[in-house]
Structure 1
Amino acid sequence: MKNKYTNLDGIQNTHTFKDLLRWRRERRGNKKDLAQQIPQSPKKEISRLKENRQHHSITWIGHSTFLIQMGGCNILTDPVWAKKMGLQKRLTDPGIPIRHLPEIDLVFISHGHYDHLDFPSIKNLTGDISFYVPAGLKSMFQKKGYEKVFEANWWDNFSEKGLSLTFVPAQHWTRRTAFDMNTSHWGGWVIQDMKTGETLYFAGDTGYFRGFKEIGNQFELDTVLMPIGAYEPEWFMKISHINPEDAVKAFQETKGAYCIPMHYGAYRLADDTGPEALERLGKEWARKGMEQQGLKILSLGETWWKSGKEQPQ
């Protein structure tokens, strides 16, 4: 019998097939303009990223996929370059083609949903890669021939290449087949450079929950990669996907210095659109009087240099 994983406080996604049908009916009457999409960065620094082993950088590939360069390591979160998700085509191209990536050292997986764990994408990565995955996923990686796989429950900590790596809670669920509902875990990852103290929190895929406060109390966070999309209709999505207003509240509770939004604009997983999510995020940020410099909205393929010169020479 496989383990079954749960959220904090026993919170469950209990929607029925009847609820799903209701959502489908609502969607037919809730047409959205999909002509406006998240833009590609006009300046992509592929050569500099390939050469960089010194400066801390964060590049948004799209959805929940980031190339993070930290502590001399090349890191990927939830690497997904898939052109389709189910029957729907990807709305925006990945910010950097997978063939143009540098060699990867570490990959972090938040959970097993297909828009966060795509083995065809992983197969095309190069490098001597260590995979950090939620409990319940290690055997799946091993069956596909990957050996350096480290499985984690919430609050498990690892050290590799001068980095401290901690798997932290999220509020979600997971499934890859009809028979494996919640048999693997879900969460986020906190990555800390033990030399500089720089600390990044990749929140994974989550609804709003009390865990943000706990994570903020456990770590002194610099950068938070926070999901903001796939929240509509909120009566259906609220348990598992955070809306932009709650994302701002959650970011405040983490006490991070910088917020980079993610999980929007690549796939139509719900009824909201990427531009809508960004608009709501910006309005809430302004309404709360938060410093604009703390919100780092990246275009697809854009790199934010956390250390070193902002512009290439």
Structure 2
Amino acid sequence: MIVCVVIFSTTFMYASEGPAEVSFVTRLPAEMTLKEISRNKLHHSDGRFINPLNSRHYRDFTELLKWKFFSTNEFKGLYKDDHVIEVSIDWSRVQSHTGLSITFVTHSTLMIMDKGTSILIDPVLYGLFWPIRDFTPLDESSRQIPDPAYILITHGHYDHLDKRSLKQFAGFSRHISPLGYRDILEDIGAQHITELDWFDAFNDGPRTIILLPCNHWTMRNPVTGPNTALWGSYVIKTSAGPTIYVSGDTAYFDRFTEIGSEFEIDLAVFNLGAYEPRWFMEKSHISPEDTVKAFIELGAKKLMVIHWGTFRLGDEPVHLPPVAIKEQMEKAGLSDRLVEIRHGETLFFDDTPGTGKK
């Protein structure tokens, strides 16, 4: 059980102070734009990074213990409905499509096919470590993903950056990440590495990949502490035409309208999962209600949610998030703008997102 708590500590908490008395969370004036924050490097601090989008400190170790050992899980009675579903993907069908498609592989792993160029996001293909159970394991053929041209990493938490999965593509793919992951990528043998700061862009002809701020943090090792590397979301301007926003792990923040003003987003993909209990998770992971709010503020045309159904990282059942987001979208009168997709399914874009067939 002690091992379990240490594992969870790398994903869900850190204290407000760490090595060298560095403050990891700050709050900047509301009148500053995200671009101004990024241009002035105000999220950089003495070899680490700080989160300017969150006014409060994150949870400390005592609060983690309180959650895991001394709080009541109101959802536990629903766990009996959670079940393992092996995921199978026909990659030949995905590859043969000549336009734009997006495949929900597992957890937060996405494969975007953009006119024959593949972009793999946060590949975690082999599950996590004990005692975290994998409810949507990939069958062997589904792990044999065609070599992607690009791999995007949102941040360093273990359910998003898996060295075993990345090593599978080390010699072929260009690995694109926020600042601070070069050592890890070189360690797994990656030959082509591009690190981005917030609002930096990687251009490939008519295709552009932009790293944006989000309200999160990162840590690989509790000894070295948090935020030795950066985290972020991505905007992908595809060569096929549509623009895709990938939130990465994020709590709600009040700048989605600003992002929506900068980019005309066709499909917003939000990480929705590990959001309960709210008293503990609200600083790291967005809720269903706030996902709808953020979607509206972005002005995106369609919404898709991932980061559910694979690992039980929060109190909620693994299959609850898609049910909850459907209810919230119905309440907002936006049911027709929700793309419902399950693990292993592919959305093939026609003229606009949401008109493709799975």
Same-fold call, TM cutoff 0.5: yes
CA displacement, residues 229-261 of structure 1 (integer Å, 9 cap, x when unaligned): 111110000011001110011111111111110
Secondary structure, counterpart of 1:186 in structure 2: coil
Shift of 1:278: 2.0
Give the conservation status (yes or no) of the 8 Å contact 1:95–1:302. Answer: no
Between stretches 272-281 and 36-45, larger displacement belongs to 36-45
1:304 to 347, 350, 355: 347
% identity of equivalent residues: 32
CA distance in 2: counterparts of 1:210 and 1:76, whole angstroms:
28
Go from structure 1 to structure 2 and tell me whether the alpha carbon gap of 1:8 and 1:197 turns closer, same or farther (over 3 Å shift): farther
* Deviation of the 1:29 alpha carbon: 7.0
Q: Is the 8 A contact 2:211 2:232 kept in 1?
A: yes
Distance across 2 between alignment mates of 1:168 and 1:158:
12
2:12 — aligned with what? none
2:281 pairs, out of 219, 226, 237, with 237
- After the TM superposition, which residues 99-248 of structure 1 pair with which residues of structure 2 at under 5 Å, given as runs? 99-125=143-169, 128-178=172-222, 179-193=224-238, 195-248=239-292
Q: TM (normalized to structure 2)?
A: 0.79
Of 85, 92, 96 in structure 1, the residue corresponding to residue 136 of structure 2 is 92
- Corresponding residue SS for 1:111: coil
Cα gap change, 1:181 to 1:42, in 2 (>3 Å): closer
Aligned pair count reads: 309
Return the letter of the residue paired with 2:155: H
State TM-score, norm by structure 1: 0.90
For 1:117 and 1:187, the matched residues in 2 are separated by 13
Residue pair 2:243, 2:265 contacting (<8 A) in 1 also: yes
The one-character-per-residue Cα deviations of 1:145-189 (angstroms, maximum 9, x if unpaired) are: 212111111111110253111000111111101214111111111
1:26 paired to 2:67: no
Provide structure 1 residue ranges, at least 5 long, that are not aligned to the other structure.
none
- Taking a change above 3 Å as real, the CA distance of residues 74 and 16 of structure 1, as seen in their structure-2 partners, is same
2:108 alignment partner, one of 51, 56, 64: 64
- Counterpart for residue 295 of structure 1: 338
Greater mean alpha carbon deviation, residues 115-124 or residues 86-95: 86-95
- Which of 89, 94, 117 is the equivalent residue of 1:49? 94
**Contact 1:59/1:301 (8 A) holds in 2:** yes
Q: Which residue of 1 aligns with 2:126?
A: 82
Q: Secondary structure at the match of 1:34?
A: helix
Asked if the contact 2:75/2:316 (under 8 Å) is kept, the reply is no
Cα RMSD over matched residues? Answer: 2.5
Distance 1:28 1:40 in 2: 24
